[in-house]
Amino acid sequence: MLGFAVCHQLPSRTLEFGGKYLPMCARCSGIYLGVFASYAYLVVRRGFRVNSIPKITYSLIIAAFILPMAFDGATSYLGLRETTNALRAVTGTLAGGVLPIFAFPLLSPELILAEEKKKDEYPPFARWYDLFIWGAFVAVLLILSLQSWSWLYWPLAVFSTVGLLGIFFNLGLVVVEMVGERYGWARRPWSFLWAALIVTFILSVLILLHKFAYDMMLDATGGVLPE
């Protein structure tokens, strides 16, 4: 159900493990597995203290990880070349791994709440080798997503779904606290509750809209799913 909110879930474009399809297509699964991997790195390696985005050099390096997915998606949709589920998963994972690096630091209270004093800067990458450690977190999930072992279904399904909820909640909380700070009511833990409610509402609306569009597509194709 959660995957349906953001993904077409076409079987032909979805990774299969032991006869079970992941909750999202190969590209979406890759994106949210990459998101999960980055959150895991930030929590394990840097704790919850990250309060700044990477330096410009690191930012440019990791931002470049989005380009393969952009190229793969654009050229395949335009009919210039054929792509595969493996390539969709790989490029999606690389792109998804970038998002939390820039979104997670925004959760730091001193960036939003006026009464919080600026503390020492704590970026996602403290040393040059942190970039490689982050890459290892992303690479592990990327490699696992390309295997065919049936026991991988539940871990990858859960990790991708947690990544989906994580990035939605991350961005929702940032918006809630920015608006709340503007009008003087941004206080934790209430902002967490508001963010959770907003994300639940948004995902519910997306599910209903997707269901409407999906039914229209099936009516137009006589019940046949497109490739």
Report yes or no on 224 lying in a domain. Answer: no
Q: Kindly state the tokens that stand for 169.
A: 């909640």
Does residue 204 sit within a domain? Answer: yes
Other residues' Cβ atoms within 10 Å of the Cβ of residue 63: 14
Assigned domain for 93 exists: yes
**Block residue for tokens 């590209």:** 27
Residue 16 located in a structural domain:
yes
pLDDT exceeds cutoff 70 at 30: yes
Q: How many structural domains compose the chain? A: 1
Interval 147-191: pLDDT, tens: 989 999 999 999 999 999 999 999 999 888 888 777 666 677 788
Q: What is the pTM of this model?
A: 0.89
Q: What is the mean pLDDT of residues 105-125?
A: 70
- Helices 128-145 and 56-63 meet at what angle, rounded to 10? 20
* Residue 79 binned pLDDT confidence (cut-offs 50, 70, 90): confident
CA contacts within 13 A on the Cβ side of 137: 24
Place of tokens 């790195």: 41
What is the structure's pLDDT at 225? 72
Read off the amino acid at residue 47.
Answer: G
Q: Is residue 66 part of a domain?
A: yes
pLDDT tens sequence across 41-74: 999 998 878 888 888 988 999 999 999 999 999 9
Assigned domain for 177 exists: yes
- The verdict on residue 225 lying in a domain is no
Residue 175 in domain: yes
* Separation of alpha carbons 144 and 128, rounded Å: 26
Q: How confident is the model at residue 122 (pLDDT cuts 50, 70, 90)?
A: confident
Which residue in this structure is represented by tokens 């970038």?
A: 98
**Is 12 within 8 Å of 30 (Cβ atoms)?**
no
Domain that holds residue 124: 2-218
